[in-house]
A and B are shown apart, each in its own frame.
Chain A
Amino acid sequence: MDPGETPFKFFTVTYLTRIGNQSAGNLEELLTGLDQCSDASIFHHTFQTLSDHHFLTEGFSNDFAQWALAEANRDALAEHFAALDIRDYTSIAALRDDLCRVLRDFIAQNPAFSRQEALDRFYFCESVEVTTPFGLQARTLDEFRDGVASISHASFHFHFVSSRLRLQLGTNDFSHWLATSLGLTTLADTMNRIDIYTNTLDSARAKIIRLVDRERRKHEHVADPQPHPAR
């Protein structure tokens, strides 16, 4: 297989969490906050929190769902929030619209709950992203595999999960590069279907490495068509 013309460049990313001046003590205030907070805040409480809590593979989806469940004691609302899959969004605006719609619908159906005080307030924070080149790039599948194996959780999340906001495509950096630079569209599609909610970042990474290894073996067979001697 030929090396890709454009190398895959691995980045290191870290996030500072900036504490905002907004908080919500009930559902109505949460709706106001959701409507008015920055894009970086929506990102923080959905994309970023999934990275911080990636090891929870049962029932943790985003901060809004967790607060609705644990602090506001509204299981049904929590379920609706949790059902929003960040992979369906290529813009924060669309995600914000759906978060607001879910909450607005719930309040409309349950007006008595809208001003009930939660056990603890929801504090709006935002992510401040700092990226820097990791100094590692890949042109071949082998180099790509080594890179994926060696990057940090944050870097993996940056390339595999939050990348769709940057690309504004329903895919991730890895799949995008495999498809466009190496022409491996089937591998790219399979990789893009890995469920980030029921996998940890480690198990998702392990699956990617297994998929890449399988692909490498296929190409080894193509490159080496000699029949193996009988044992």
Chain B
Amino acid sequence: MSTLQIPSRIPLDDYSSVIGAGEIAELRTLARPLADREVIMINSTAVGGGVAEILNRLVPLAEELGIKIRWEVMMGGEDFFEVTKSFHNALHGAPYHPEIRHFEIFREYTEKNAKRLPLDAEFMVIHDPQPCGLISYREKKNNHWTWRCHIDLSHSNPAVWNFLAEFVPCYDAAIFSSPQFAKQLPIPQYLFYPAIDPLSEKNRELPPEFILDVLARYGIDHLRPILTQISRFDRLKDPVGVIRAYRIVRRYFDCQLVLAGGGASDDPEGAAVLMEAQAAADGDPDIKLLELPAWAPLEVNALQRASTIVIQKSLREGFGLTVSEALWKRKPVVASAVGGIPTQIIHKHTGLLAHSVEGTAYQIRFLLSHPEIAGRLGEQGHLHVKENFLITQNLKLYLTLFLQLGKLL
């Protein structure tokens, strides 16, 4: 499907064209005291999902800076991942009544993994709840353990959180993606924003002819305004609400709507949501419902770059990195004020926030009427991402954390 190829390993110096040579020199300066020190990152999946995407980029960059960094993946059977998926949903606030057996399964797999994984690096970074219990098997008392929680714990199910709370305070530090996602803990909690890679297939510059080719493939007219929302077909992303907002905008502007994402083919709920969106579209030829494969970064990139306005009308959201992706491409964004979105969209500075279908429609109409304001928001949004949400900034924060934990300065 994707016809452009880029090497998966990108040298650090290549980022100087994006963030400047001074920032790269600073990374090298910060990494100097960490040369040859060991870091192990552990998560529960090697492919798919935002965490794997970040580690795929972060680990080679840290390695290039002379750090002995390894990325290990926790192994588990179907029963383990069923339990941890339930935990994950429950921590996001979904109703769940855990059984004692579920906690036993979690402990059994934690023990099995503790026997096979190296846990003695000077800096251990454990990502998300699945491998969280490994801290119980900490042997060296002088190494530093950090729990990096990528999910929003503000509405967590008390039974599941109380179980995890047995492990979390044993860490030396915890990292969250937003202050409102954090918990009251007796250990230091730090704020690391999730990050995008500006040189990845999803975010790099694309030749105009490739973008036009993608538009032609999906029957999208490049001469008329294109409103786009990229997200899974999931009710929390409110695709039907986006269609309702588009219908209001259509009274004033001859525009098109693109709703593109995955999740419909391998998820029964996703298929149902896609059908609801199809029903709401009611055969309108200017509404394109595109079911993309799970990994189609160049297509997503092209659709974002071709958009006049990008929408993220979520009802609930984690951090919402698709917003950063759009801002990076200098796109004006209209998004809901939920989850981590207001961190990225500073209202009237880097985009526009809305709280309803009507509000979303109004903000879109405003931007279509004032392209110069749309352009300014897009430009400032790009700078916001450049300063705060790039993988190089994430790397800098990890280096700083290790220096701080190891008292290396």
Q: Is the pair B349, A17 in contact by a Cβ cutoff of 8 Å?
A: no
The answer to whether B22 and A151 touch across the interface, beta carbons within 8 angstroms, is yes
Interface SS of chain B = helix
B25 touches A152 (CB 8 A): yes
Q: Does B87 contact A (CB under 8 A)?
A: no
Does B182 touch A at the CB level, under 8 Å? Answer: yes
**Given known A-B contacts A134-B29, A152-B26, A52 and B347 have beta carbons under 8 A apart:** no
Q: Tell me, yes or no, whether B95 is within 8 Å of chain A by CB.
A: no
Residue of B nearest to A71 (CB): B342
Contacts A/B (CB < 8 Å), 8 sampled: A16-B400, A18-B189, A18-B190, A56-B350, A70-B342, A152-B22, A152-B25, A152-B26
Inter-chain CA distance A151–B388, complex, in Å, is 17
Known contacts: A121-B180, A128-B404, A132-B30. The answer to whether A56 contacts B342 by CB under 8 A is: no
Q: How far is the CA of A15 from the CA of B403 in the complex (A)?
A: 11
B178-219 vs A, CB cutoff 8 Å, 1 = contact: the mask equals: 011010100011110000000000000000000000000000
A-chain residues with CB within 8 Å of residue B384 when the two chains form the complex = 53, 55
Tell me, in angstroms, the Cα distance from A150 to B23 when the chains sit together. 9
Q: Does A83 belong to the interface (CB within 8 Å)? A: no
Answer yes or no: A21 CB below 8 A from chain B CBs.
yes
Residues of B within 8 A of A112 (CB): none
Measured between beta carbons, the chain B residues less than 8 angstroms from A141 are none
- Cβ < 8 Å to B, chain A residues 152-206: 152-155, 200
- A66 at the B interface (CB under 8 A): yes
**B289 on the A face (CB < 8 A):** no
- In the complex, the chain B residue whose C-beta lies closest to that of A156 is B22
Contact (Cβ within 8 A) A120 B349: no
Query: What are the residues of chain A within 8 A of B184 when measuring CB–CB?
Result: 21
B372 to chain A, nearest CB (A): 14
> Is B160 on the interface with A (CB-CB < 8 A)?
no
Contact residues in A for B80 (Cβ distance below 8 Å): none
For A153, list chain B residues within 8 Å (CB).
Answer: 22-23, 387
State whether A55 and B404 are in contact (beta carbons under 8 Å apart), knowing that A18-B189, A120-B337, A150-B21 are contacts in the complex.
no
Kindly list the 6 A-B residue pairs having the minimum CB-CB distance in the complex, ordered from nearest.
Answer: A123-B179, A55-B383, A17-B191, A152-B26, A19-B189, A14-B400
B401 contacts A by Cβ under 8 Å? yes
Known contacts A56-B349, A132-B29, A134-B25: does B337 contact A119 (CB below 8 Å)?
yes
Q: Contact check, B409 vs A132: say whether CB atoms are below 8 A apart.
A: yes
B191 contacts A12, C-beta separation under 8 Å = no
Find chain B residues with CB under 8 A from A52 CB: 387-388
Q: In chain A between 31 and 60, which residues have their CB closer than 8 angstroms to a CB of chain B?
A: 52-56, 58-60
- Distance in angstroms from A85 CB to nearest chain B CB is 19
B-contact 0/1 string along A98-126, CB 8 Å cutoff: 00000000000000000000011101010
For residue A130, CB closer than 8 A to chain B, the reply is yes
Interface bracket on B: 35 or more
Q: Are B25 and A66 in contact (CB under 8 A)?
A: no
Complex contacts, B191 vs chain A, CB 8 Å:
17-19, 125
Partner of B396, one of A14, A19, A60, A134: A14
Our pick among B23, B176, B346, B400 for the contact of A56 (Cβ within 8 Å) is: B346
- Nearest chain B residue, comparing its CB with the CB of A57: B380
Give which listed residue, A16, A123, A128, A134, contacts B180 with CB less than 8 A: A123
**A154 CA / B383 CA spacing, docked (Å):** 15
Q: Do B349 and A16 touch (CB < 8 A)?
A: no
- Chain B 137-181 against A: per-residue CB contact (8 Å), 1 yes, 0 no? 000000000000000000000000000000000000000100110
Is residue A225 contacting chain B, with contact meaning CB distance below 8 A?
no
Judge if A135 is at the interface, Cβ distance under 8 Å: yes
Least CB distance, A187 to chain B, in whole angstroms: 22
Residues of B within 8 A of A20 (CB): 179
Does chain A have a CB within 8 A of B397? yes
Residue B50 CB within 8 A of the other chain? no
What is the chain A residue whose CB lies nearest that of B349? A56
Shortest A169–chain B CB gap in Å is: 26
Within 8 A of B (CB), among A61-103: 66, 70
B337/A152 in contact, CB under 8 A: no
A-side contacts of B409, CB under 8 Å: 130-132
> Could you tell me which residues of chain B, from 340 to 398, have a CB within 8 Å of some CB in chain A?
342, 346-350, 380, 383-384, 387-388, 396-397
Across the interface, A14 reaches (CB within 8 A) one of B176, B388, B397, namely B397
Of all chain A residues, the one with the shortest Cβ separation from B176 is A19
Chain A residues whose CB sits within 8 angstroms of the CB of B293 once the complex forms: none
In angstroms, Cα B26 to Cα A148, docked, is: 13
Q: How far is the CA of A53 from the CA of B349 in the complex (A)?
A: 10
Say yes or no: is B118 at the interface (Cβ < 8 Å to chain A).
Answer: no
Q: Besides A70-B342, A132-B403, 20 other CB < 8 A contacts?
A: A14-B396, A14-B399, A16-B400, A17-B190, A18-B189, A19-B182, A19-B189, A52-B388, A55-B380, A55-B384, A56-B349, A58-B349, A59-B349, A60-B349, A66-B346, A70-B347, A120-B342, A121-B180, A134-B25, A153-B23
